Amino acid sequence: MDGMLYSDGSGAAELEKIESDKPVGVLSHVTHSDSSYLLKMGRSYNPNHKGNELFLKMNGHALYEYALRNVPKVVKKSLDKAGLKLKDVKKILIHQANEKMDEAIVKRLFKLYGEKPSAEEIRNIIPMIISWLGNSSVATLPTLLDLVLKGKVNNHGLNPRDIVVFASVGGGMNINSLVYKMPWA
């Protein structure tokens, strides 16, 4: 393949820390950034292409490995910062670039806690919408949250006091994890 496939969307979700006797809202967040070698400019791979223009290219395998190595650590760090364990988490809303990668990330997160999850446990903790909405870039997490809150993702919902982790990896160099406790109704 000679280029990258981009999908774009727009979405926003306002999450806040709420002052109360018992913590609710944003409990913690962790951001991790690297200068990345995963994106570069390069000539076309098409042997029939004439011209000297450069194309944006991604080292997909390296990005996959980077995400598997680093996203679980950042999520664990955000849970540690909030004083929580993985067993406290109801849902992980993760950026939907690749379902196989997301499942592998969550397996590695469980492994950091000394656990080996079943395929069913993974399906129960990470709602997936990529199969019908694709990768909509930065709109993925707000869209996913909205659909889960409206009960439009099979077998996934959130209730007051549930702990949710939002996790994203962008372009292979920026990882974000936010721990959120659903407010009371």
Ordered by start, the domain boundaries in the chain are 17-181
pLDDT of residue 62: 82
Q: What is the pTM of this model?
A: 0.86
What is the DSSP code (8-state) at residue 160?
Answer: T
Number of H helices, E strands in the chain: 5, 7
The superfamily CATH assigns to domain 17-181 is Thiolase/Chalcone synthase (3.40.47.10)
Contact 15, 2 (CB under 8 A): no
β-partners of residue 107 are none
Candidates 176, 106, 181, 172; CA nearest to 141 is 176
The predicted-structure confidence for 136-172, as pLDDT tens digits, reads as follows 777 889 999 999 999 999 999 999 999 999 999 876 5
Phi, psi of 39, deg, nearest 5: -115, 140
**Interval 7-65: pLDDT, tens:** 566 677 888 777 788 889 999 999 998 766 677 788 888 889 888 899 888 777 888 88
| Reported confidence tier of residue 131, pLDDT bands at 50, 70, 90 | confident
Terminal-to-terminal C-alpha distance of the chain? 49
